[in-house]
Structure 1
Amino acid sequence: MTVALLEIEDTSDWLGCPTELETCRYFLRMTENEVQELTLQLRKTREDIFGLVQMHADATKECGALRAELAKTKTDLADSNRRATEIETKSNWELMANSRHICELILTIRELSGEKPFESPYPIQRDTPDT
């Protein structure tokens, strides 16, 4: 089956049908509009990225400052713990020394008052078979 050339309808002279030049201009305008829109989106995206980079830089800077502050606080805490331990140790030694001194004074008082210092003030009760 061959189609005769006269059977193909020529639509180039119809009203409302664009010519090749009009079609090319239409697609050119569509492409230009799309490029302009993409350019605006690209500009906005670049601004967003710049903002994110700036936020990251600020956060990194703040993180560094907080790390330094944390390290200083840890050092201060360690010093405070060391001083507290020294004070506690000194206090315990002083309490032990005071307790020993008090015991020695009690012993001296008992000796001077005529008591037998090493004798128990409480009589020892023994179990007897009678009870």
Structure 2
Amino acid sequence: MSIDLDTEEWLGCPTPLEMYQHQCALLEDELIQTESMLRKARANVAGLVQMNDLLATGKTTAEAKLRYFEAELSRTNVESSEMAKEIMGLKMIASQNEHLLRENQRLLVELTNLKEPST
């Protein structure tokens, strides 16, 4: 019996060349998957960049509108303040008018009492 038999052929053991070929096939599959993932990642990044541009444009528009409405609000507050001053002035005049009317009525009653002889 010969003990020095070559055991590489036993039980379907691969040769070193077959092992290298198999390793190359695994690496090729991994590279294909990596390329696919890279393409998807690039598409995602491009989508995110586009979304960021849209958001930045929207933000700029919103900030411009905010500045416009802040100025409009400020102008409206000034107008409201001026109207409040006018209203206060008119209320003071109305109050003085009422006071003068009552005083006029009182003096009219006194004058009527003085003209009429007391009986």
**TM-score normalized by the length of structure 1:** 0.72
- Cα RMSD over matched residues? 2.1
Task: Flag structure 2 segments of 5+ consecutive residues without an equivalent.
Answer: 112-119
Are residues 103 and 43 of structure 1, via their aligned partners in 2, closer, same or farther at CA, if it must alter by over 3 Å?
same
Distance 2:19 2:86 in 1: 99
> How many matched pairs?
110
Q: Which has the higher helix share?
A: 2
1:63 equivalent in alignment to 2:82: no
Please tell me the residue identity of whatever aligns with 1:69. Answer: K
Q: Which residue of 104, 107, 114 maps to 1:108?
A: 104
Distance 2:61 2:32 in 1: 44
Please tell me the residue identity of whatever aligns with 2:29. Answer: N
- Give a deviation string over 1:14-67, Cα, whole Å, max 9, x none: 352222221111111111111011100111011111111211121111111111
Distance 2:32 2:69 in 1: 55
1:126 aligned residue: none
Are residues 105 and 20 of structure 1, via their aligned partners in 2, closer, same or farther at CA, if it must alter by over 3 Å?
same
Distance 2:86 2:4 in 1: 115
Distance 2:88 2:38 in 1: 73
**TM-score normalized by the length of structure 2:** 0.79
Are residues 30 and 66 of structure 1, via their aligned partners in 2, closer, same or farther at CA, if it must alter by over 3 Å?
same
